[in-house]
Every structure is written in C-alpha cells, then in structure tokens.
Amino acid sequence: MTSLLLIVPMPLARAAVCLAQAEAANGAQRPELPFALQYLPLLAIAAAAYLLLFRPERERMRKQQDVLKALKRNDRVVTSSGIYGTVANVEREADRVTLKVDEASNAKLTVTLASIAKVLRDGAADDGGGG
C-alpha cells in the first residue's frame, strides 16, 4: 500500500516539471513591453486622480481666497461654525474679522478670517434667527 502512494505522485511531478519547462520556453520568446508602456496604466490613474480630486479642490480654495480678499465692512457673512453676522471691521494683517452678531445689544464677536465660510449677498438668507 505504501509503495502505491510513492509511485502515483511521481508521474504527476514529472508532468508538472515538463509543463513548467514548456511555459518557461514560451515565456522567453515573448517580447517585453517598453518601460513607458508598462507604467502607462499607473500614469493614467495618477492623471485621473489629479483631474478628479486635486484640481477641483484647488479651484474651490482659490474661489474662497477671492471671497475673503473682497470681504469688506457691512457684508453679511456666515462663519464655519454657523454664526451669522455683519462685518464690523477687517484686520487682514492680524487675520481677524470683527462681526456684529446682534443689532439690539451691539454684541460683537472676533473671529479669524479663515473662519468665514461664505458671504451672503442681497437676500441670500434671513438673519438666522430661525424662531
């Protein structure tokens, strides 16, 4: 019984060796692609990532910078934390904006220039009271 177990795998091993040698012989005849063509799919993925991810984000940041550069007194703004206010003073060198948040009590709030999320134009939103 043990001799049968030793005999059966031997022809399978020989067949595997023959197939491996034939595969190696066929592979040696196949020409290799040039270096640039081998990495073409990777370059295509990198270009797609740039066009779909990085470029739109850069455009959005540029537009936000333009909005902040045009910020002036009496503009209605919303901060990134959701606070509505009117610009009372802009100190670009100190990177600060003073917002008037309540007309009745003349309450003011100082925030960084980067915390201004958007500038509300005429009739873009109400006073944010939401009652």
pLDDT tens string 5-18: 455 566 666 666 66
Residue 14 belongs to a domain: yes
Predicted model pTM: 0.57
| Structure-token match 């067949």, residue found | 15
Do residue 76 and residue 91 come from a single domain?
Answer: yes
At residue 100, φ and ψ (nearest 5 deg) are -95, 115
Do residue 60 and residue 76 come from a single domain?
Answer: no
Do residue 83 and residue 114 come from a single domain?
Answer: yes
For residue 99, give both structure tokens.
């917002």
Average pLDDT, stretch 83-97?
93
Tell me if 115 sits within 8 A of 79, measured CB to CB: yes
Asked if pLDDT for residue 54 goes beyond 70, the answer is: yes
| Structure-token match 């904006």, residue found | 97
